[in-house]
Protein backbone atom coordinates (compact mmCIF):
# COMPACT_ATOMS: atom_id res chain seq x y z
CA UNK A 1 0.00 0.00 0.00
CA UNK A 2 2.69 2.48 -1.11
CA UNK A 3 1.84 6.19 -0.99
CA UNK A 4 -1.00 5.65 1.49
CA UNK A 5 -1.12 5.99 5.22
CA UNK A 6 -3.55 4.45 7.60
CA UNK A 7 -4.62 6.14 10.79
CA UNK A 8 -7.62 5.33 12.93
CA UNK A 9 -9.13 3.20 10.18
CA UNK A 10 -8.80 5.90 7.50
CA UNK A 11 -6.89 5.41 4.27
CA UNK A 12 -5.43 8.54 2.71
CA UNK A 13 -3.26 8.95 -0.37
CA UNK A 14 -0.32 11.31 -0.72
CA UNK A 15 -1.45 14.91 -0.56
CA UNK A 16 -4.65 14.01 1.26
CA UNK A 17 -5.91 15.96 4.23
CA UNK A 18 -7.27 14.01 7.17
CA UNK A 19 -8.76 15.98 10.05
CA UNK A 20 -9.95 14.54 13.29
CA UNK A 21 -11.90 16.32 15.98
CA UNK A 22 -13.41 19.77 15.82
CA UNK A 23 -11.93 22.25 13.37
CA UNK A 24 -14.27 25.07 14.28
CA UNK A 25 -12.43 28.43 14.15
CA UNK A 26 -9.30 26.74 12.80
CA UNK A 27 -7.10 27.75 9.93
CA UNK A 28 -6.18 24.88 7.68
CA UNK A 29 -3.36 25.46 5.23
CA UNK A 30 -2.97 22.88 2.49
CA UNK A 31 0.15 22.90 0.37
CA UNK A 32 3.59 21.51 -0.08
CA UNK A 33 4.64 21.19 3.57
CA UNK A 34 2.67 24.36 4.24
CA UNK A 35 5.07 26.42 2.12
CA UNK A 36 3.33 28.92 -0.09
CA UNK A 37 5.04 29.08 -3.45
CA UNK A 38 5.32 32.09 -5.75
CA UNK A 39 4.34 29.71 -8.52
CA UNK A 40 0.78 29.97 -7.24
CA UNK A 41 0.93 33.46 -8.74
CA UNK A 42 0.32 32.94 -12.42
CA UNK A 43 2.89 35.18 -14.06
CA UNK A 44 2.87 33.62 -17.52
CA UNK A 45 -0.31 35.40 -18.72
CA UNK A 46 1.01 38.72 -17.41
CA UNK A 47 4.31 38.30 -19.22
CA UNK A 48 2.50 37.20 -22.37
CA UNK A 49 0.78 40.61 -22.36
CA UNK A 50 4.17 42.32 -22.02
CA UNK A 51 5.69 40.20 -24.82
CA UNK A 52 2.83 41.28 -27.11
CA UNK A 53 3.63 44.93 -26.37
CA UNK A 54 7.28 44.28 -27.22
CA UNK A 55 6.30 42.74 -30.56
CA UNK A 56 4.23 45.82 -31.43
CA UNK A 57 7.12 48.22 -30.83
CA UNK A 58 8.00 49.51 -34.28
CA UNK A 59 10.96 51.50 -32.95
CA UNK A 60 12.75 48.31 -31.86
CA UNK A 61 14.81 46.29 -34.30
CA UNK A 62 14.08 42.54 -34.33
CA UNK A 63 17.34 41.84 -32.47
CA UNK A 64 16.42 44.39 -29.78
CA UNK A 65 12.98 42.80 -29.40
CA UNK A 66 14.64 39.43 -28.82
CA UNK A 67 17.00 40.98 -26.26
CA UNK A 68 14.10 42.62 -24.40
CA UNK A 69 12.12 39.36 -24.41
CA UNK A 70 15.16 37.47 -23.08
CA UNK A 71 15.51 39.98 -20.24
CA UNK A 72 11.79 39.66 -19.49
CA UNK A 73 12.09 35.86 -19.43
CA UNK A 74 14.90 36.14 -16.88
CA UNK A 75 12.74 38.48 -14.78
CA UNK A 76 9.83 36.04 -14.95
CA UNK A 77 12.04 33.12 -13.94
CA UNK A 78 13.50 35.12 -11.03
CA UNK A 79 10.05 36.20 -9.83
CA UNK A 80 8.89 32.59 -9.79
CA UNK A 81 11.65 31.62 -7.34
CA UNK A 82 10.77 31.27 -3.66
CA UNK A 83 13.05 34.21 -2.80
CA UNK A 84 13.54 36.44 -5.85
CA UNK A 85 16.87 38.27 -6.10
CA UNK A 86 15.87 41.94 -6.17
CA UNK A 87 19.29 43.11 -7.38
CA UNK A 88 19.21 40.70 -10.31
CA UNK A 89 15.67 41.77 -11.26
CA UNK A 90 16.55 45.47 -10.98
CA UNK A 91 19.53 44.96 -13.34
CA UNK A 92 17.28 43.25 -15.87
CA UNK A 93 14.80 46.14 -15.72
CA UNK A 94 17.65 48.67 -16.14
CA UNK A 95 18.82 46.78 -19.24
CA UNK A 96 15.31 46.90 -20.68
CA UNK A 97 14.98 50.60 -19.80
CA UNK A 98 18.10 51.37 -21.85
CA UNK A 99 16.59 49.59 -24.87
CA UNK A 100 12.89 50.37 -24.49
CA UNK A 101 11.82 52.59 -21.57
CA UNK A 102 8.12 52.30 -22.48
CA UNK A 103 8.29 48.52 -22.03
CA UNK A 104 9.51 48.97 -18.45
CA UNK A 105 6.52 51.20 -17.71
CA UNK A 106 4.08 48.68 -19.19
CA UNK A 107 5.82 45.81 -17.36
CA UNK A 108 5.61 47.58 -14.00
CA UNK A 109 1.94 48.44 -14.50
CA UNK A 110 1.10 44.92 -15.66
CA UNK A 111 2.91 43.23 -12.79
CA UNK A 112 1.64 45.65 -10.12
CA UNK A 113 -1.95 45.55 -11.29
CA UNK A 114 -2.80 43.19 -14.17
CA UNK A 115 -6.02 45.04 -15.05
CA UNK A 116 -4.20 48.37 -14.84
CA UNK A 117 -1.45 46.98 -17.03
CA UNK A 118 -3.92 45.95 -19.70
CA UNK A 119 -5.51 49.38 -19.44
CA UNK A 120 -2.07 50.96 -19.89
CA UNK A 121 -1.47 48.87 -23.02
CA UNK A 122 -4.86 49.87 -24.45
CA UNK A 123 -4.20 53.53 -23.61
CA UNK A 124 -0.84 53.45 -25.40
CA UNK A 125 -2.27 51.67 -28.44
CA UNK A 126 -5.18 54.09 -28.72
CA UNK A 127 -2.81 57.07 -28.38
CA UNK A 128 -0.55 55.66 -31.08
CA UNK A 129 -3.52 55.01 -33.38
CA UNK A 130 -4.78 58.55 -32.82
CA UNK A 131 -1.34 59.91 -33.68
CA UNK A 132 -1.21 57.80 -36.83
CA UNK A 133 -4.69 58.94 -37.86
CA UNK A 134 -3.63 62.58 -37.39
CA UNK A 135 -0.60 62.24 -39.68
Report yes or no: 38 and 79 within 8 Å, Cβ to Cβ: yes
Q: What is the pTM of this model?
A: 0.59
Domain count, the chain: 1
Supply the pLDDT for residue 38.
Answer: 44
Considering the domain boundaries, does residue 11 fall inside one? no
**Burial of residue 103, with CB atoms counted within 10 A of its CB: 0-12 exposed, 13-18 middle, 19 or more buried:** buried
**What's the pLDDT tens digit per position in 46-100?**
899 999 999 999 999 999 999 999 999 999 998 888 888 889 999 999 999 999 9
Whether 4 maps to a domain, the answer reads: no
Q: Are 65 and 54 in contact (CB under 8 A)?
A: yes
Judged against a pLDDT cut of 60, whether residue 4 lies above it is answered with no
Q: Return the C-alpha torsion angle 47, 52, 55, 57, nearest 10.
A: -100
Q: How confident is the model at residue 40 (pLDDT cuts 50, 70, 90)?
A: very low
In a domain, 19, yes or no: no
**Rounded distance between C-alpha atoms, residue 51 and residue 48, angstroms:** 5
118 touches 110 (CB < 8 A)? yes
49 belongs to a structural domain: yes
In a domain, 33, yes or no: no
Residue 32 placed within a domain:
no
The pLDDT > 90 percentage for the chain reads 33
Structural domain span for residue 130:
40-134
Residues in a beta bridge with 35: 32
Question: Where does 1-135 show beta strands of DSSP type E?
Answer: 4-7, 10-13
Asked whether residue 28 is assigned to any structural domain, the reply reads no
Amino acid sequence: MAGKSKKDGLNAGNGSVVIGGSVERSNIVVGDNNVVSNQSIHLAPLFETIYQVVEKQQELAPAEKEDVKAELQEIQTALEESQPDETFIARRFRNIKRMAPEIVEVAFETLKNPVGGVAEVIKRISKKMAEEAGE
